[in-house]
Chains A and B, each alone.
Chain A
Amino acid sequence: MDCKELVPRAFDLSAYEFGMPQQSGSLTVVPIFGRDWDLPNPKNKDQNQFTGPLSGLKLNRVVGYGNVELSNPATSGVAIVPLHIGYIQDQAQNHALCRSAFIAAGQTLLFEDACCVQQSQGGYLEGREQWFFILPLQLRWEALQIRGQKSYSKLWNGISHLNTQFDLPSRGHLEQIVTRQRAVLTQYQSRLELLENQIGALFLIGDKLAGIEIAPTSAYFQEMWMPLVCFCYGTAAMFFEKKVVRQNQTPLPFEASNLTELREQLAKSRDRFQEKVQDHLQNTPKEKFEIQEEERFLSLHLKTALGNNFAGQFVENDGQLAYASLFAKPEYLAQK
């Protein structure tokens, strides 16, 4: 697919290629392929430049409510903390981060602006068994806005509002969705399939672009796939699917009278499907982003992008895109 002229145009996506779209229910994914920053490099053959969020990034502990300590125990390579990563653990208050960050190999970093996402659960997260997610799409804009604010309860109102949308008790308990609906949400990683060497994806909910996710390496994206497709975009898709009653429609036959014609018409139909997805992408309003630099790590620059309909953070390496997590704001997705 040719999606290089996509919004947000502040980014140069010419280095990337877009695969065949996949669709399940209301969620469509366009896989992205492109530069893998960890592919063998003649200058440093055995070193990983980027460590993955699951294999490389460790939650050490929660020092106090709203204070989350992460570390990168690797001997080389920098960890880009995924934007809006959250951790779930039994018997402890689940937390999520409002921003991305760099953590050097061997470094420990305390996030004092983390938010608690489980209102009335006692106990602190520890380094024992835990799993991570990315905040549901509906909460990401609010979370990004309150980055830097030290208040562990700052996202409770947003979570309560989200819960009421799902007809759940109005509480600051995100686990009402991500844990109790886990069996439904985790189906999204099978309903939509990660492809070999995939480095990112465009996510569409219904006919609207809902997010652009690009990782520095395919291994990094592989570790991000489930948290993204299930908990971030899956939660939004689940809400959409909840509103739309599934109808068992009788499939419309092709106008073919033999196998050869059927094959031809199938191919045409598939071209039309790709064109439809491309139209949806091209109908996305043009954006002008306000860019703010947040952090630096050697040649890496972490920046925040704020637009009318989209926002997020991205990382550039010597001016080339290495990581991006940009998402649609709730108001944009709600527009008809």
Chain B
Amino acid sequence: MRPFLDDLSAVELRVLARIRLAVTARLAAAAAAHDPGLAEHGSRPFRLALRVPGLPRAFVAKTEGPVTAWAGGETPVQRLPPDLTLFFPSSRDCARVLDGSAGRVFPIPGGWGAARALRYFRAAAASAPRMLRSPDTPAVLRAALLLEAAMSALVETANADPAMAPRLAHAPDGLVVVDAGGGVRRALRKEGGRLRSVRVPEDGQDAVLAFRDPESAVAVLAGKKSAVTALGACEASIRGLVPLVQGLFAVLDRASRYLAVKAEKEAGHGR
């Protein structure tokens, strides 16, 4: 895959937009639990949709419980019209805007909570990156946010990128638990060519990818250390059905290449 937005194929652009939609929505929801500054914005109900023509919508909503996100074709529990839709006219616009670059996005109000939704989204979209950048953020929180982003990117890449079909076909089906340490755990189920996020089971998982501690998880999830190296250094371990986890590593590798796509070519690049 080429490293710049302008060089991606139409299919790759759509995959990238799906990933950005899902990661943005999920981090915007996850941030609410950890950023006290978001509390005032997320205390009253709102429903926000992120939409690109031809792609599954992503939602961020505050109803009765905590702020929650849905993406990749998941349906919100309450099928009510959104208070606000952020409409991106194209995958390219979506990828650019959600990466912090200039692009077209149109807010379309649909209910009384539109202003609240916009305020929350503006604050939340900046919150997770800020927490990840801050040296004061505890490793366990950093691991939780990175795991959230990685799982979203993994699911969208697996389900949307046709190039992943052979990789997924090569891996066995099953349920994987990723344990980032410090109580941060997520689970994924692979069935045929699809991947979905599921509740972490008490037992019955087919494989477990466990990091020694949140710091080790952060190093791998932030791309500072390869998973293979972390395994050798005993900072991570795989138990159970190893090929299932290896199959996910392959998808994660592809996802990280999408996430590294830059909107603009820098001087001296792109030849």
State whether these chains interact: no
* Chain B interfacial positions (CB closer than 8 Å to A): none
* Chain A interfacial positions (CB closer than 8 Å to B): none
